[in-house]
């Protein structure tokens, strides 16, 4: 797996450091077993230090004239208005075109999406960006089909994420695809206690498929808003305006899992969030996320995570609040 992170002024370092640490963790866990070798390059207009947001410096090992063979190109988000940086990256545009035409996939996050749009790679394609810049981007790039309601989009090998949280979900998706479910579980165990997961991204659901099925997105959104309630497949069919059989087939085609499997997964993920971030009892958490009692939550939680809810809470609390 060969990845290039493009460095430029105003870049938010978390748009680079978080995915790099996650990819490295997955590679250390599973890469050697699979005979994989992770290669990460940092590319800028010139080799050497690049001053980014907050006055921090990242070091580029390659410039845009370097001959690189990469599978992925990341365009990280920037702090503040991106226009001056966008216009200054003269050599980046042909470099980006060259790698995309050679088969590299592009991941643009937040205001970093403007680089791909300025390169005209998003013309007549769907995209998203940070909500604050959506009106400005629409005006400046009228040929791009910006999706207001989605935090993650994908078309023709170009992924756009509206925020660093959304990019994190994408990285987890890539890790699962490239390194497998075991690596995904290890990375989530180490990182997801610190990173707040966001489940308002119907265009892409972690653990499922990237899709643009608006009916399925509607059902997913409705489910996330009714986690604490008793939900049946019949209820979901009514929300979708489909028969139960039609909805199940459509949901599986779009996400790779049934509606009830999706509901169980989201309930467990919400339970993990409450175990991390609240002092609610396991019984209260069970009721809050839609399990009829704590025993039912306990069985399901152990089945999904291979640990008890109590052990999970101890682990994440110990990691987050260890005294020196």
Residues with Cβ within 8 Å of 76's Cβ and at least 6 positions away in sequence, in order, are: 5, 6, 7, 11, 12, 15, 16, 109, 110, 112
What is the pLDDT at residue 84? 94
Q: pLDDT of 201-215, one tens digit each?
A: 334 433 344 555 778
Pairing of strands 152-155, 105-109: unpaired
Q: Within 10 Å of residue 105's Cβ, how many Cβ atoms?
A: 18
pLDDT value at position 3? 95
Q: Which two tokens stand for residue 102?
A: 């050679």
| Lowest mean per-residue pLDDT among 103-112, 217-226, 261-270 | 217-226
Would you state the pLDDT for residue 35? 58
pLDDT at 200: 36
pLDDT at 195: 45
Which residue in this structure is represented by tokens 């609390």? 317
Question: How far, in Å, CA of 158 to CA of 106, rounded?
Answer: 5
Task: For residue 238, give the 3-state DSSP assignment.
Answer: helix
Q: Which residues pair with 57 in a beta bridge?
A: 51
Angle, helix 259-277 to helix 244-255, in steps of 10 degrees? 60
Alpha-helical runs (H) found in the chain: 14-26, 83-88, 92-101, 113-118, 134-140, 164-179, 181-191, 214-225, 233-240, 244-255, 259-277, 282-288, 294-305, 309-321
Burial class (CB in 10 A: 0-12, 13-18, 19+), 64: buried
- The reported pLDDT for the residue numbered 38 is 86
CA angle 155, 161, 162 (to 5 degrees): 130
Q: Which residues, at least 6 apart from 27, have a Cβ–Cβ distance to it below 8 Å?
A: 1, 36, 37, 38, 179
Query: Average pLDDT, stretch 213-242?
Result: 85
Q: Contact 76/115 with Cβ under 8 angstroms? A: no
pLDDT at residue 192, rounded to an integer = 61
pLDDT over 70 percentage in the chain: 88
Q: How far apart are the first and last CA of the chain?
A: 37
What is the model's pLDDT at position 157?
85
pLDDT band at 176 (very low <50, low <70, confident <90, very high): confident
DSSP for residue 76: -
Contact 269, 197 (CB under 8 A): yes
Domains in the chain: ranges and CATH: 2-171 (3.40.50.880), 213-321 (1.10.10.60)
Q: How far apart are CA 209 and CA 148, in angstroms?
A: 20
Res 199: pLDDT: 36
Full-model pTM = 0.62
CB neighbour list of residue 215: distance below 8 Å, 6 or more residues apart:
240, 241, 242, 247, 250
């Amino acid at each position: 797996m060969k990845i290039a992170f493009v460095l430029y002024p105003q870049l938010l370092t978390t748009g680079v450091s978080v995915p790099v640490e996650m990819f490295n963790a997955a590679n250390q866990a599973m890469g050697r077993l699979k005979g994989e070798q992770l290669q990460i390059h940092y590319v800028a207009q010139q080799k050497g230090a690049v001053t980014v947001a907050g006055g921090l410096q990242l070091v580029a090992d390659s410039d845009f004239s370097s001959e690189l063979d990469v599978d992925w190109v990341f365009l990280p988000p920037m702090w503040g208005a991106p226009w001056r940086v966008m216009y200054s990256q003269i050599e980046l545009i042909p470099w980006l075109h060259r790698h995309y035409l050679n088969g590299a996939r592009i991941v643009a996050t937040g205001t970093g999406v403007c680089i791909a749009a300025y390169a005209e790679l998003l013309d007549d394609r769907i995209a998203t960006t940070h909500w604050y810049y959506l009106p400005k981007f629409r005006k400046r790039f009228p040929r791009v089909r910006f999706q207001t309601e989605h935090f993650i989009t994908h078309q023709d090998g170009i992924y756009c994420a509206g925020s660093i949280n959304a990019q994190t979900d994408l990285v987890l998706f890539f890790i699962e695809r490239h390194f497998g479910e075991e690596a995904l579980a290890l990375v989530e165990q180490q990182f997801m206690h610190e990173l707040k997961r966001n489940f308002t991204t119907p265009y892409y659901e972690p653990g499922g498929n990237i899709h643009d099925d608006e009916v399925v997105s509607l059902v997913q959104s409705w489910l996330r808003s009714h986690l604490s309630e008793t939900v049946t497949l019949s209820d979901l069919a009514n929300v979708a305006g489909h028969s139960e059989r039609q909805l199940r087939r459509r949901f599986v085609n779009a996400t790779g899992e049934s509606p009830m499997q999706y509901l169980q997964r989201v309930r467990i993920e919400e339970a993990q969030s409450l175990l991390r971030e609240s002092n609610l009892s396991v019984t209260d958490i069970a009721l809050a996320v839609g399990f009829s009692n704590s025993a039912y939550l306990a069985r399901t939680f152990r089945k999904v995570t291979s640990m008890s809810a109590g052990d999970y809470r101890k682990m994440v609390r110990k990691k987050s609040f260890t005294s020196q």
